[in-house]
Amino acid sequence: MADANPRSTAVIGLQWGDEGKGKLVDRLAGKHDATVRFNGGANAGHSVVVGGKRYALHLMPSGVLSERALGVIGNGVVVDPEALLKEIDALSSQGVDTSRLVISDRAHVVLPYHKVEDELREAFLSGGAIGTTKRGIGPAYGDKVQRSAGVRMGDLTRPDVLREKVELACRLKNVTVQRMCEEAGLAPTVLNADEISAQALSWGERLAPMIDDTVYLLNTMYRDGKRLLFEGANATLLDVDHGTYPYVTSSNSSALGICAGAGVAPSVVGRVIGVMKAYSTRVGAGPMPTELSDATGDLIRERGREFGTTTGRPRRVGWLDLVAVRYSVMLNGADEVAMTLLDVLSGFDELRLCVAYNTPDGQTDRFIPDGARLSRATPVYETLPGFTQDLTGCRSLDELPVAARAYVERIESFIGAPISSIGVGPDREQTIDVSPGVGV
Ligand code: IMP
């Protein structure tokens, strides 16, 4: 069992993303000294409502909306400087103080050619495409791992190094980019190293004061008794090793990515809070056994405003997959679970929970972290009575209708982790704290 008052906390999505992690991070941020992104890039989309104002965050740690926490972009993130600068400008114009941002000098940079490659690869794969966010995430991580032309944030302030790396990258990539354009029947794109280096240097000039060694920063803070909040982007079932591969993102987006992506030891991660929606959603391609392609699905999508924060794409919607959530609780070592969007499920006669899968090899209650195998699984449901009451004004468990409480209790007993808070609306205040002192 985790320390009841740990010095560091991680907030991790237990499904396919968009679980409402931003709202929880925002609530927790005021009690921490730094909020830390350790994976992903501008593919993530946190949407946080504070005082009726909606903020859309992509690269920026959500803690920047709090009054005191430092926002840290760790080494495991891939940073699109153009997107980050846009976000900084947009938040500043909304009155947010963005000066508490620190970016790892080792975080890799998403450059314009990564977005070209992402787009081309998706066009090339057509029917087999992953449905990426086209933010250049996979190609940027690819360069990092291949070690040939990866550009790191620190390089943006060293013109000679930057120029050399970008030139090499363009030489390497122009070969395949031309071929792919030809094969996909697209107009040829020629990557121009001069233009890209000049652009990257100008971004570097603006970002230079924020670039630092975040590994020493975070470890020193921890040693000095400060509290760290690790903010997972994307989510567990999109983890490159443990998700529904290949329909995943290119980083370790579960809690397992924290140590490598922030440069901290496992003992630093004190408590893991998993975040799950009261139903399932997914953006992009890949299996989703409980998907609803009917009026029920449409209604949940409308009510839950299930349209991507990053791409605006309508999200795929389905009943809650407890097999998947229980797997994610296990994988992350989640000490507690924050449930979000329970209010969206008001008005259905019955609610379904997936408790096992039927597969060509028989029934199983284990998750199948493999795209091809999971696509052959069909859900085995348990059906519970629905509820009609509007939950958005509920602030305690007692105020919930009996059927809603029964739904929460069944989930809790199946996943084997306590549900410490329940979201009943988008605003910070629209939350039921089930175990005060534990959740937040
Ligand atoms: P990529 O991360 O852009 O390469 O996209 C890979 C897959 O992950 C696609 O199916 C995306 O829709 C999905 N994905 C990436 N980030 C998020 C997120 O923050 N929320 C939901 N889906 C995401």
Which region among 186-200, 286-300, 345-359, 426-440 has the lowest average model confidence (pLDDT)?
A: 426-440
108 - beta bridge partners?
Answer: 78, 152
| pLDDT confidence tier of residue 438, bands split at 50, 70 and 90 | very low
* Residue with CA at minimum distance from ligand 1 atom 18: 234
The single residue of 18, 118, 239, 335 carrying the catalytic annotation is 18
- As a whole number, mean pLDDT of residues 1-13 equals 78
Distance of CA 412 to the CA centre of its chain: 23
Query: How far is ligand 1, taken at its centre, from the CA of residue 164, in Å?
Result: 31
Report whether residue 238 contacts ligand 1, using a CB cutoff of 6 Å. Answer: yes
Query: How far is ligand 1, taken at its centre, from the CA of residue 334, in Å?
Result: 22
| pLDDT confidence tier of residue 148, bands split at 50, 70 and 90 | confident
Selected residue with higher pLDDT from 30 and 250: 250
Query: Is the pLDDT at 278 greater than 90, yes or no?
Result: yes
Q: Mean of the per-residue pLDDT values for the chain?
A: 93
Report whether residue 131 contacts ligand 1, using a CB cutoff of 6 Å. Answer: yes
Q: Is 97 a catalytic residue?
A: no
Question: Residue 285 CA: which ligand 1 atom is closest?
Answer: 10
Q: How many CB atoms within 10 Å of residue 191?
A: 20
Q: Is the peptide bond before 369 cis (omega within 30 degrees of 0)?
A: no
The pLDDT value recorded for residue 436 is 56
Query: Is the pLDDT at 386 greater than 90, yes or no?
Result: yes
- Out of 12, 133, 254, mutate this one to test ligand 1's pocket (max ligand atoms within 8 Å of CB): namely 133
350 - beta bridge partners?
Answer: 385
| pLDDT confidence tier of residue 419, bands split at 50, 70 and 90 | very high
Q: Is 114 a catalytic residue?
A: no
| pLDDT confidence tier of residue 128, bands split at 50, 70 and 90 | confident
- As a whole number, mean pLDDT of residues 285-290 equals 97
Q: Tokens for 220, please give them.
A: 């020193």
* Residue with CA at minimum distance from ligand 1 atom 2: 249
The pLDDT value recorded for residue 2 is 52
The single residue of 26, 33, 46, 58 carrying the catalytic annotation is 46
- Out of 283, 315, 316, 317, mutate this one to test ligand 1's pocket (max ligand atoms within 8 Å of CB): namely 283
Distances (CA, A) of 273 to 1, 28, 284, 332: 12, 11, 25, 9
Q: What is the 3-state secondary structure (H, E, C) of 311-323?
A: CCCECEEECEEHH
Query: Is the pLDDT at 1 greater than 60, yes or no?
Result: no
Q: How far apart are CA 14 and CA 280, in angstroms?
A: 10
Report whether residue 283 contacts ligand 1, using a CB cutoff of 6 Å. Answer: yes
The pLDDT value recorded for residue 439 is 47
Which region among 64-78, 285-299, 362-376 has the lowest average model confidence (pLDDT)?
A: 64-78
| 25-60 per-residue burial string, b: 16 or more CB within 10 A, e: under 16 | bbbbbeebbbbbbbbbbbbbbbbbbbeeeebebbbb
Strands 350-359 and 320-321: parallel
Query: Is the pLDDT at 34 greater than 60, yes or no?
Result: yes
Query: Is the pLDDT at 328 greater than 70, yes or no?
Result: yes
| pLDDT confidence tier of residue 4, bands split at 50, 70 and 90 | low
Question: Residue 283 CA: which ligand 1 atom is closest?
Answer: 12
Long-range contacts at 161-170 (CB < 8 A, ≥ 24 apart): 162/197, 162/200, 162/201, 162/204, 163/193, 163/197, 166/111, 166/193, 166/196, 166/197, 166/200, 167/193, 167/197, 169/111, 169/113, 169/143, 169/193, 170/113, 170/196
